[in-house]
Amino acid sequence: MASLVPVILCGGTGSRLWPLSRSGHPKQFIEFGKSSLLADTLARCARLEHARLTVVSNEEHRFHVKDAVRAFPATDIILEPARRNTAPAIALAALRAQEDGDGRALLLVLPADHRMDPEEVFVEAVQAALPAAAEGRLVTFGITPTAPATGFGYIITGPELSAGLYEVSRFQEKPDVDTARTLLASGTALWNSGMFLFRADRYLEELQRFRPDILTAVRKAWQGRRTDGRFLRPAADAFCACPSDSIDYAIMEHTDRAAVMPLPLRWNDLGSWEAFYEISPHDENGNARQGDVMLEDCRNCYLHSTGRLLAAVGVEDLAVVETRDAVLVARRDRVQDVKRIVQRLEQAHRPEHALHPRVCRPWGSYERLAEGERFQVKRIVVEPGGELSLQKHYHRAEHWVVVGGVAEVTLGDAVHLITENESIYIPQGSLHRLRNPGKLPLRLIEIQTGSYLGEDDIVRVSDAYGRTDPEPAPPAAHKETE
């Protein structure tokens, strides 16, 4: 049997789970319970025998992915220069498999953000589907439906090919409720999970057959790739010229080699707050709660607090989600439309569409605590061994107060060790670096003052994580309204 290579697609933004999920820190990296959805997917793959993993993500999330796969050293991280949907992303993984001289490697394609239970059913189904995939079938996995859901596409099964494996008769777009009820009653319909198993060379053959334009662009991008540690970066110009299309539209709806393996388990793609309501425990009035929530005479609501007390009185069928800088209130039957709010936030250039007040960085995190005219206050946490870039700012000065741990501060040509209850001043325009030389997290308060306090006012001279930034405009040309 050919080798198995799990391919985890990890480039989504989870916009329908705003305000908890944001483009800079989407749902697959957020801990729901004890682990993130990506961590759950990696653990699921660990139950299957494989030589290595491939994760397809993007530049914006590269350090989130790198941190998540730290315990999986045999992992390639392919960074898409732009989002082009699943067909090109999978083609990159297939070309990576061929590079090892193993074009017949079996790619197990999995989204990074699914929950399923019991996982033994999934593992057994993958193992049962391996022979058909090795023989050239393009296998997809369909979830046995439990309700006439309108938020999923459907797969209609045809004749049985072997024990538990069926031909695909056709694919059905997300239906209206009446069509969904008809599909459920037919006994031949499965929810389309977006999970696949096929040989790398077979996938590329089908892509050449149905979408040669995609394959040509992806091949060119892959040939021009560069390697940066664990990161594989396809050539940006070629990949950005690639058409955007899903594997369903590009291949699965056209191929005569599609097969489907039913999965009789509890599954959810956690694509909306209604999905979270469905998987959460309910009280005697049908309410699902997360965090510090107090209710009085409420029914069938989903209420999620990340910090502050969330209180509700006399409401029904609502989804309410609280974060430090935004609160969502929506009817449960309208939560799919949350993405419209996200689009409006992006069009208005508001930071709430992309970032939380707490922003993760490869060295740790920072969190905005207060801001006003010509000042901003942040809490900064630098993990042991972490260091910020050697940098300077045109428009602001900074004052650092250490509240925990030890800071190694490079300021000009001098290096200072700053301990708890000590501080240091960083003048505007001075070259500086912050590093944690200790074994405990370094925690400090940063007070910024100046005419412009945006994150783009930074000149990186050197960086341990390979980050680069365009040179900001000099003070005379920089507009404070940007």
What CATH number does residue 38 fall under?
3.90.550.10
Clarify whether residues 142 and 174 are in a common domain: yes
Greater confidence (402 vs 62) lies with: 402
DSSP letter string over 165-223?
Answer: EEEEEEEEPSPPHHHHHHHHHHS-EEEEEEEEEEEHHHHHHHHHHH-HHHHHHHHHHHH
At 455 the pLDDT is 83
Q: Distance between CA atoms of 3 and 134, rounded to whole angstroms?
A: 10
Other CB atoms closer than 10 Å to residue 421's CB: what's the count? 9
- pLDDT confidence of 375, banded at 50, 70, 90? very high
Clarify whether residues 85 and 158 are in a common domain: yes
Clarify whether residues 46 and 123 are in a common domain: yes
Q: Distance between CA atoms of 249 and 246, rounded to whole angstroms?
A: 5
Least confident of 13-17, 85-89, 140-144: 13-17
Closest CA to 96 of 44, 55, 48: 55
Clarify whether residues 236 and 373 are in a common domain: no
Q: Is 415 inside a domain boundary?
A: yes
Cβ density class 202-232: b for 16+ within 10 Å, e for less: bbbbbbeebbeebbebbbbbbeebeeeeebb
Contacts of 414 (CB under 8 A, 6+ apart): none
Last residue of a domain, one of 249, 268, 287: 268
Give me the domain span that covers residue 284: 273-338
Residue 62 has pLDDT above 90, yes or no: no
Last residue of a domain, one of 239, 268, 297: 268
Q: Work out the average pLDDT over 69-93.
A: 92
Greater confidence (466 vs 150) lies with: 150
Residue 100 has pLDDT above 90, yes or no: no
At 2 the pLDDT is 76
Clarify whether residues 237 and 287 are in a common domain: no
CA dist list (Å): 447 to 372, 378, 453: 11, 7, 11
Residue whose pair of structure tokens reads 């058409």 in the numeric block: 243
At 268 the pLDDT is 86
At 482 the pLDDT is 28
Percent of the chain scored above 70 by pLDDT?
96
Percent of the chain scored above 90 by pLDDT?
75
Clarify whether residues 324 and 389 are in a common domain: no
Clarify whether residues 200 and 308 are in a common domain: no
Count how many residues are written for the chain: 482
Q: Work out the average pLDDT over 440-464.
A: 93
Q: Is 165 inside a domain boundary?
A: yes
Greater confidence (234 vs 476) lies with: 234
Sheet containing strand 364-372, strands side by side? 358-361, 364-372, 375-382, 442-450, 396-404, 423-426
At 469 the pLDDT is 54
Note the pLDDT tens digit of each residue in 13-51: 888 999 999 988 888 988 877 788 999 999 999 999 887
Clarify whether residues 239 and 138 are in a common domain: yes
**Domain at 445, CATH number:** 2.60.120.10
CA pseudo-torsion sign 247, 253, 254, 260: positive
Pairing mode, strands 231-233 and 75-80: parallel
End-to-end CA distance of the chain: 58
Q: How far, in whole angstroms, is CA 371 from its chain's centroid?
A: 29
Q: What is the pTM for the complete model shown?
A: 0.84
Residue 430 has pLDDT above 60, yes or no: yes
At 185 the pLDDT is 92
Cβ density class 456-469: b for 16+ within 10 Å, e for less: ebbbbeebebeeee
Last residue of a domain, one of 236, 268, 300: 268
Q: Is 314 inside a domain boundary?
A: yes
Residue 481 has pLDDT above 50, yes or no: no
At 476 the pLDDT is 37
CA pseudo-torsion sign 457, 462, 468, 474: positive
Residue 473 has pLDDT above 60, yes or no: no
Clarify whether residues 402 and 256 are in a common domain: no
Clarify whether residues 80 and 214 are in a common domain: yes
Residue whose pair of structure tokens reads 């209710």 in the numeric block: 295
Q: Distance between CA atoms of 156 and 394, rounded to whole angstroms?
A: 61
Clarify whether residues 156 and 289 are in a common domain: no
Q: Is 142 inside a domain boundary?
A: yes
The total number of structural domains in the chain stands at 3
Clarify whether residues 226 and 286 are in a common domain: no
Q: Work out the average pLDDT over 196-222.
A: 97
Amino acid symbol at 226: R
**Long-range pairs for 340-348: beta carbons < 8 A, 24 or more residues apart:** 341/18, 342/15, 342/18, 343/15
**Long-range pairs for 345-349: beta carbons < 8 A, 24 or more residues apart:** none
Q: What are phi and psi of 199, to 5 degrees?
A: -75, 145
Residue 424 has pLDDT above 90, yes or no: yes
Whole-number mean pLDDT of the chain?
91
Q: Work out the average pLDDT over 285-304.
A: 97
Q: Provide the token pair at 451.
A: 């005419």
Q: Work out the average pLDDT over 394-401.
A: 96
Q: Work out the average pLDDT over 239-265.
A: 96
Note the pLDDT tens digit of each residue in 271-292: 899 989 988 999 999 999 999 9
Least confident of 136-140, 162-166, 253-257, 315-319: 162-166
Q: Is 473 inside a domain boundary?
A: no
Q: Is 351 inside a domain boundary?
A: no
- pLDDT confidence of 468, banded at 50, 70, 90? low
Other CB atoms closer than 10 Å to residue 242's CB: what's the count? 27
Q: Distance between CA atoms of 227 and 218, rounded to whole angstroms?
A: 16
Q: Is 344 inside a domain boundary?
A: no
Q: Is 349 inside a domain boundary?
A: no
Q: Distance between CA atoms of 322 and 177, rounded to whole angstroms?
A: 30
Q: Provide the token pair at 227.
A: 């390697």
Q: Helix, strand, or coil here: 433?
A: strand
